[in-house]
Amino acid sequence: MKYKRDQYTNGFSICALIIAGMFFYWGVSSFFDNSWHFTFSLWGLFWIGIGAAILSSQFAIIGNRSKLKNVVLHEFQSNPNISVEEISANTGISVRDARAVILDLKAAGKLRGGFSTTTGEAESMKTMSISPAEQQVVEEKAFYCPSCGTEIKRDHAEYCSYCGAKL
């Protein structure tokens, strides 16, 4: 698997699929004349080839996304208290992509737990218990994580408890 910086967050594109569809349409339509009789055209093969290349690159990106998810999941399985920065250093995945992968794994239910608000390390990514002190609602001005949008409830927090981003 070849990894390029921020390929997880910037790689896949719906626009690329639409453009590939346009090339396929041009290719197929060039095989027919105005009366819908089949005529062979090299330009049609050219346009279909471009569409196929764009489509195959998007499928490769989807395959790489699943591999990146497996790599990050393996890091949490080997060390449940690892931080996002350590995952980035160990795997070569950018911090931005590592956070995006973690959020996707959490949304899929494959990863549970949170991050320490003081150290940024994961707190037992299998299950997370909430202490009674954390359950108290503090009525202050709301502060949200710039990376994932989770509300930060502690004033002295240096890291987000949901995605591990440095605040």
Average pLDDT over residues 46-69: 90
What is the overall mean pLDDT for the chain?
Answer: 80
Q: What is the 3-state secondary structure (H, E, C) of 13-48?
A: CHHHHHHHHHHHHHHHHCCECCCCCECCCHHHHHHH
pLDDT digits 0-9 by tens, 107-160: 888 888 788 777 777 776 653 333 444 444 444 455 778 777 787 877 778 888
What percentage of the chain exceeds 70 in pLDDT?
82
Residue with more model confidence, 104 or 113: 104
pLDDT given for residue 116 in this prediction = 78
d(CA 37, CA 111): 56
pLDDT digits 0-9 by tens, 23-34: 999 998 888 876
pLDDT given for residue 20 in this prediction = 95
pLDDT band at 92, cuts 50/70/90? Answer: confident
